[in-house]
Amino acid sequence: MRPIEFTLNGARARVTVEPHETLLWVLRQRLAATEVKSGCERGDCGACAVVLDGRAINSCLALAVQAEGKSVLTVRGLGGPEAPHPLQATFVELGAAQCGICIPGMLVSLYAFLQEHPRATRGEIREAIGGNLCRCTGYQKIVDAAEAAARRLVGATE
Partner 1 sequence: MSTTSGFRIVGDRAPRPDARDKVYGLLRYADDFALAGMLHAKVVRATRPSARILKIDGSRAEALPGVTCVLTARDVPHNVLFSDVPGQTTAIGPLRARTQVLAGDTVRYLGEAVALVAAETEEAAEEAARLVVVEYEDRPGVFDPEEALRPDAPPLEPTGNVISRWKIRKGDVEAGFREADVVVAETYRTGFIDHAFIEPEAGVGWLDENGVITLRVATQVIEHFRDVANVLGLPHSRVRIIAPYIGGGFGGKEDVTVEVFLGLLVWKTRRPVRLCYSREESILSPTKRHPFVMKYTHGARRDGTLVALQVELIADAGGYAYLSPLTLLYAMVHAAGPYRIPHVKVDGVAVLTNNPPTSAFRGFGSAQPAFAYESQMDALARALALDPLAFRERNYLRKGERLASGQELETAVLLPETAARAWHALGPPRTPSGPGKRIGRGVASALTAYGRIVWLHDWSSAWVELQMDGTVLVRTGVPDIGGGQAASLVQITAEILGLAQDEITIHIGDSALTPLAGTTTATRQLYMSGSAVHKAASELRATLLQQTGELLNVPPETIVLADGLAYAEGNPQRKLSFKELAAACARAHRPRSAFAIYQAPAGQVMDFETGQGKVFPDFTFGSQAVEVEVDEDTGEVQVLRVVACYDVGKVINRNSVEGQVEGGVAMGIGYALLEEDRVAAGLTLTPNLMTYLIPTALDVPDVTAIILESGEGMGPWGARGIGEPALVPTAPAIANAVFDAVGVRVTRLPITPERLWRAGQEQPARRAR
Among 133, 147, 151, 152, binds partner 1 (CB under 8 A): 133
How far is the C-alpha of 51 from the C-alpha of 113, rounded, in Å?
10
User: Which segment (64-72, 111-119, 120-128, 150-158) binds partner 1 by CB under 8 A?
Assistant: 120-128
Quickly count: other Cβ atoms within 10 Å of residue 83's Cβ.
9
Among 102, 114, 120, 150, binds partner 1 (CB under 8 A): 102
Residue 126 in contact with partner 1, rule: CB under 8 A: yes
User: Which segment (64-72, 97-105, 111-119, 150-158) binds partner 1 by CB under 8 A?
Assistant: 97-105
- CB within 8 Å of 137: residues ≥ 6 apart: 96, 98
User: Which segment (37-45, 51-59, 64-72, 111-119) binds partner 1 by CB under 8 A?
Assistant: 37-45
Residue 13 in contact with partner 1, rule: CB under 8 A: no
Quickly count: other Cβ atoms within 10 Å of residue 12's Cβ.
8
In terms of Cβ atoms closer than 10 Å to its own Cβ (0-12, 13-18, 19+), residue 59 is: buried
Give all strands (DSSP E) within the chain, no chain letters: 2-8, 11-17, 49-52, 55-58, 71-73
Residue 114 in contact with partner 1, rule: CB under 8 A: no
Instruction: With beta carbons less than 8 A apart as the criterion, state whether 4 and 64 touch.
Output: yes
Minimum gap (Å) between residue 66 Cβ and partner 1 = 20
How far is the C-alpha of 70 from the C-alpha of 54, rounded, in Å?
10
Residue 103 in contact with partner 1, rule: CB under 8 A: yes
Interface residues toward partner 1, by CB under 8 A: 34-42, 44-45, 47, 74-76, 79-81, 84, 87-88, 91-95, 97-104, 107, 122, 125-127, 129-143
